[in-house]
Amino acid sequence: MTREQTIIRTSVFGIIGNIILVVCKAIIGLIAGSIAIVLDAVNNLTDALSSIITIIGTKLSNKRPTRKHPFGYGRIEYLTSTLIGFIVLLAGATAIFESIKSLISSTKDGNSAEYSVVALVVVGIAVVFKIIIGTIFIRNGKRVNSDSLKASGTDALMDSVLSFSTLVAALITYFASPSFSVEAALGIIIGLFIIKAGIDILKESLSSVIGERSDAELVKNIKETVLEHDEALGFYDLIINSYGENKKIASAHMEVDENMTAHEIHIITKHIQEDVFERYGVILTLGIYARENLSPEIKKDLERIISAFPEVLEMHGFFVDEANLVVSFDLIIDFCCNTPEQTISDIKEQIQALYPAYKFLVVLDADIT
């Protein structure tokens, strides 16, 4: 079964299950006069809507690339996860609002819901069913790496907690007949938990939209694959852009001996790109750094100076153009450093004092991977 088929079948299962729960809970809630069960039914309706959104997002994300969007539509899944997060937030806010109204009304009038044994059984079955739905969604979401499925699964598990609280409140009302609405009081508490779940979903999906640090294991594997080739003397500046599941495009620099010919570089570059794509499905573009074999004293002095700056994580791309007396290199400076430009200025000033005849060009790199 393909990734798309897994997402769609899981979502369809969720839609059918939630619609059944909506009908049953709405009927029982209206008969019993229970605001909690009616709200639970509305919440299940939003779950069905979330699954529909997931299906639409999956279909759109698998559209073929176009001239306007040459990288495809894979990132639409991030947007559908964000939309589901907002739906969960709305469900939580609605639960709190209606629960407060019900609590005030029951306190003022002394009215409470009247539950039957059938109603209690149905709510109990709904709790078990929502746990099953949530577990299936999260398991399949992790298996095919779908944020939308995982978000819907989290929502379903939170709904099972809401349904369980409704069941507890119903049992208390059934046996104790309190003078206020226990279910409304619990509804407020559960509404807060639902809002927290919505915020967590939004944080994860929006973080993906903004751009996150690449997976450390994937970075490590790509670097090791490149350095398996003897011609590769160093590997730097890896940037991985994700355009949806299995749609990753990367760029990096590979250090080679300065005496290699363009023909030799072309051959080794092609071999590395093929290896990386076959193993990890990543389209890798490689730039070249030439390892300069002359002027070792300049590099040694530069490394000594840099060692006094703990915020500098790495120096690479070192090259001396003796014909034009230009020294160039890249520095990776930790994000915790608030003044990276000043660090570069200090380093340049010190090395310039030792070699006044040379011009020093420094590129500031970010600690991306």
CATH code (residue 57): 1.20.1510.10
User: Pairing relation of β-strands 248-257 and 234-242?
Assistant: antiparallel
SS3 118: helix
Distance CA 255, CA 318 (A): 10
Distance CA 281, CA 297 (A): 42
Distance CA 130, CA 153 (A): 9
329 with 200, same domain: the answer is no
26 with 54, same domain: the answer is yes
Distance CA 324, CA 296 (A): 17
238 with 103, same domain: the answer is no
222 with 203, same domain: the answer is no
Contact 255, 316 (CB under 8 A): yes
- The last residue of one of the domains, among 210, 245, 272, is 210
What is the domain range of residue 319?
Answer: 216-366
Per-residue pLDDT of the chain (369 residues; tens, 9 = 90+): 788 888 888 889 888 988 988 888 888 878 877 766 777 787 788 788 878 888 888 888 888 888 888 888 888 888 888 888 888 888 788 878 877 877 776 665 555 566 677 777 877 888 888 888 889 989 988 888 887 788 788 878 877 877 777 777 777 777 776 655 676 777 777 778 778 878 888 888 888 778 778 888 999 999 999 999 999 999 999 999 888 766 889 999 999 998 899 999 999 999 999 999 999 999 999 999 988 777 788 999 999 999 999 999 999 989 998 889 999 999 999 988 889 999 999 999 999 999 999 999 999 987 777
The CATH number covering residue 232 comes to 3.30.70.1350
185 with 227, same domain: the answer is no
146 with 238, same domain: the answer is no
Q: SS3 letters for the chain?
A: CCHHHHHHHHHHHHHHHHHHHHHHHHHHHHHHCCHHHHHHHHHHHHHHHHHHHHHHHHHHHCCCCCCCCCCCCCCHHHHHHHHHHHHHHHHHHHHHHHHHHHHHHHHHHCCCCCCCHHHHHHHHHHHHHHHHHHHHHHHHHHHHCCHHHHHHHHHHHHHHHHHHHHHHHHHHHHHHCCCCCHHHHHHHHHHHHHHHHHHHHHHHHHHHHHCCCCCHHHHHHHHHHHHCCCCCCEEEEEEEEECCCCCEEEEEEEEEECCCCHHHHHHHHHHHHHHHHHHHCEEEEEEEEEECCCCHHHHHHHHHHHCCCCCEEEEEEEEEECCCCEEEEEEEECCCCCCHHHHHHHHHHHHHHHCCCCEEEEEEEECCC
71 with 187, same domain: the answer is yes
Q: Which residues pair with 282 in a beta bridge?
A: 248
Exposure class string for 220-244: b at 16+ Cβ within 10 A, else e: eebbebbeebebbeebbbbebebbb
Amino acid found at 237: D
- The last residue of one of the domains, among 210, 240, 261, is 210
113 with 224, same domain: the answer is no
157 with 93, same domain: the answer is yes
pLDDT at 227: 93
- The last residue of one of the domains, among 189, 210, 231, is 210
Distance CA 248, CA 241 (A): 6
Q: Which of 230, 314, 221, 323 is nearest to 276 (CA)?
A: 221
163 with 223, same domain: the answer is no
pLDDT at 104: 76
223 with 359, same domain: the answer is yes
pLDDT at 151: 79
pLDDT at 106: 65
Strand order from edge to edge, sheet including 312-321: 312-321, 326-333, 359-366
What is the number of structural domains in the chain? 2
190 with 251, same domain: the answer is no
Distance CA 323, CA 187 (A): 77
